[in-house]
Amino acid sequence: MGSLVSCLSDPCQSGNGSPPPQARRRSSTSSRGRGGGGGGRDSAKASVTIDEEALAAAAALVLGQRGGGAFERSASVRYAAKRHGQGPPLPRSCSTRPRSLADPELQPQQLLAKDLNTKDLETSVIVLVHGGGFGAWCWYKTISLLEDSGFRVNAIDLTGSGIHSYDTNKICSLSEYAEPLTSYLEGLGDAEKVILVAHDLGGACVSYAMEMFPTKVAKAVFLCAAMLTNGNSALDMFQQQMDTNGTLQKAQAFVYSNGKDRPPTAINVDRALLRDLLFNQSPSKDVSLASVSMRPIPFAPVLEKLVLTAENYGSVRRFYVETTEDNAIPLPLQQSMCGANPPEKVLRLKGADHAPFFSKPQALHKTLVEIAAMPPVGAS
């Protein structure tokens, strides 16, 4: 991350805190034909219809959010009844990329043990926490597979991520970045527990949440994520990565919204290097989705050192999922984190890049189900 030693001061000492203005909706008349005659009217009608459908889709996405950034249910489940009797369901992927033996095409029920009933699990609620620059959108395959298998799934949009409207450059702390996650956990009942799944920088947010709400987290899964020790920051981890190769350093570009004489406020990833860094094994359609959906990564949470205790953070069961073809957090670095902060179990996704929810969705699903099905410690 460049000359990071000079970036250790507060990146939020200047700048106003007002939220960005809402984007204006495009008028449905902007693409209407200007000529007369029936052709013009037909073109105008078609344009209006397309615009209305687009607006309806956008409204459905927004209404599908709960608590400022969590999906309540996927559209595939909510509207399943409407598809009944209309023939076989559409395939979940239209990618022409050959499917490898490490990620076979299986039905969700084939990924579950025949005698597994999600109602018998310690919890059937899984909360997905995206990584830096990503949003809840990146979990779309995982959400569908888990829900079809009987789990209740929430995908969180962290502050300034996904469709969360806050300006990324104004995020000043890890607690502010993780607020949608901690608010969700705070709203759970005393007896409710969830499984947290963290990706990338989301590992720091999940660790922070484990320290705050240890009794509400049944298990924490770190998916090629920052699994840090007490007193360390995500920056400490990324500095180790840059010692191994220069891919990350080449791909990153700092944002100085408070001026070049102040510390960076965010990090952008060069779109031209997205595939090499993050998606070297992912289908092209998912790389295209990410290229138009990713947002800057707030710098303050990367900089912040975590305070983790054995009584809180240490009381939660942890699992790490390695990704063997990862160029952003290479396998040796993942193994180094596991060595310094050993989890209960380490699992591996062979052939997965830094976005296993794109490159190995079926294998990831099977791994998450396996972890969810592990009985509580001491259970007979």
Instruction: Say which amino acid occupies 295.
Output: R
Both tokens of 93, joined, read: 């992927």
Taking only the tens place, the pLDDT of each residue in 256-284 is 999 999 999 999 999 999 999 999 999 99
Write the DSSP symbol of residue 112: S
For residue 204, is pLDDT > 80? Answer: yes
pLDDT at 227 over 60: yes
Question: 129 vs 249, which has greater pLDDT?
Answer: 129
Which residues are part of the catalytic machinery? 200, 326, 354
pLDDT of residue 115: 57
Q: What is the pLDDT of residue 38?
A: 47
Distance CA 1, CA 43 (A): 51
Average pLDDT over all residues of the chain = 79
Percent of the chain with pLDDT over 70: 68
Predicted confidence at residue 52, as pLDDT, reads: 53
Q: What is the spatial distance between Cα 217 and Cα 203, in angstroms, rounded to a whole number?
A: 14
pLDDT of residue 377: 80
pTM over 0.85: no
Helix (H, G, I), strand (E, B) or coil at 266: strand
Give the whole-angstrom CA distance, residue 195 versus residue 201: 17
> What are the residue boundaries of the structural domains of the chain, listed by start?
122-373
pLDDT at 354: 98
* Domain 122-373 -> CATH class: alpha beta
Strand partners, 320: 222, 346
State the Cα–Cα distance between residues 313 and 215, nearest whole angstrom: 10
Residue whose entry in the numeric block shows the structure tokens 């909360």: 127
Rounded to whole angstroms, the Cα distance separating 236 from 375 reads 34
Q: How confident is the model at residue 376 (pLDDT cuts 50, 70, 90)?
A: confident
pLDDT at 59: 45
Alpha-carbon span 300 to 42, nearest angstrom: 52
**Tens digit of each residue's pLDDT (9 = 90 or more) over 154-164:** 999 999 999 99
